[in-house]
Amino acid sequence: MSGNNQTGRTLYIRSIRANFRYWHKQIQDATHEQLRKMRSDFPLICRAVRQGANHHETHEQTIDFALSAFHFAELSGEWSEWGLVLEQINSTITLKNPPEQCRLLLHLSQFFRLDHQLEKSFPANLQLIRLCKLHSFNEQKVQAFVQLANCYLEIQDYQNAQKYLNKVLSEVDNFPSHKRWKAEMHNALGRVSFELNGDLPTAKKQFEQALAQFDYFGDRLNYARISHNLGEVHMKIGELANTGKYLTLSETTLMQIGGLKDISAVQISLSVFYFIQGKWEDCEAKCRQVNFEQLEAYGYYSHLAIALNNLGNALSKQQKWGEAESYLKQSIKLWELQDNKLELSNTLGSLSEVYLGQNQLQLAELYVHKAIESINGMKPTLKARNWLEELNKLRDRIQIDKEQQQALLSPLLS
């Protein structure tokens, strides 16, 4: 290499390192609100990491920066893009430091889980567990099991989630640095109690413990997420004052520092909060605050499908049949796309009610049978059992209306 080329490369490597120092300082010194405003800089930060990964002289700085930028990347909402950046590092840089490789795999698994890319999240996490066992990294193994439990929660496999949480219950207190992961564990245990067993008092206790720990750390983002979960529990218990308190607190905080997925999730819960109180117009208004276009653009089809379902239900209660039918059918297509039979059954049932409200009994009967067929054979979670019970009641109502209609027509046919 000529002297000029060598000088040029040296200057280029220095510029990459200087870039890392600049962005590291910007991120480390920023408040939550400032980090949120920095989202427009996210492509520049990704480009800096990719440049660093391409040159062996800057591998060390690349890894250090990528691992330290976790919180900013989480707040950015650009989880898929950051996951790809970490994937590039994992595939192009040979990590000689096993603890560093553990951290990278943990981050990889987390970002792919946040982005619902579970086909990538599970393998990264299983690779992490193998590495922890190979090097006897018991502390990192606790993190891996909690993370794996969170992956199972994403696919509503609550039995396996509970299995991996049980593996860490006796170990988590042995590692003082694991207080954050203990908070994650309490949150995951709360979700299992809530969804699998319907054990609301236990779920409430677990969420409250997680909330207190995230409050202690000053972690406003996770504090807002757990507030959302607590709001859901209070809603199931029927304590509407506390429901409104926690959900409003969560939404207010997330609107300041949260990403699209978290904001949409709490807006959806608030729409349900209004719905169960019979506030159909408030429910409709909250559903329309959900950013449908961005949810579709980012591929958050589950959140989009729920929001469309709830909007359809709110319109149905106001007897705006045409609009209700349109939104519910959009939701059904998304559930079919995701092969989510449980949620599909719920929306099919809602569409059946739209037709029942218009006295279109054949269509109402057709869709309630589709809903029951969709839910039959599924794992008997509390939600599945409750929805099947409601669908059977709806089927009986339709049958009664059919019989009454037939009785009225009989004299005319004789």
**pLDDT: is 201 or 11 the higher one?**
201
Residue 204 confidence (pLDDT): 97
Does residue 59 have a pLDDT over 90? no
Average pLDDT, the chain: 88
The closest of 352, 19, 266 to 274, measured between CA atoms, is: 266
The rounded percent of the chain whose pLDDT value lies above 90 is: 50
Residue 257 confidence (pLDDT): 83
Whether residue 398 is contained in a domain is answered as no
User: Is 0.95 surpassed by the pTM of this model?
Assistant: no
Whether residue 59 is contained in a domain is answered as yes
Whether residue 340 is contained in a domain is answered as no
- 346/215 Cα distance (integer angstroms): 36
Buried b (16+ CB within 10 A) or exposed e, 114-126: bbbbbebbbebbe
Whether residue 62 is contained in a domain is answered as yes
- 86/265 Cα distance (integer angstroms): 26
Residue 177 confidence (pLDDT): 60
Look up the domain containing 110 and give its range: 35-136
CB 221 within 8 A of CB 32: yes
For the record, the structure tokens of 238 come out as 């029927």
CB 221 within 8 A of CB 75: yes
**pLDDT: is 270 or 381 the higher one?**
270
Whether residue 20 is contained in a domain is answered as no
Task: Bin 31: left if φ > 0, else alpha if -120 < ψ < 50, else beta.
Answer: beta
Split into its structural domains, the chain has a count of 1
CB 1 within 8 A of CB 43: no
Does residue 334 have a pLDDT over 80? yes
Could you say which DSSP state residue 126 is in? H
Whether residue 57 is contained in a domain is answered as yes
Residue 411 confidence (pLDDT): 61
Q: What is the pLDDT of residues 205-242, one digit of tens each?
A: 999 999 999 999 888 889 999 999 999 999 999 999 99
CATH number at residue 117: 1.25.40
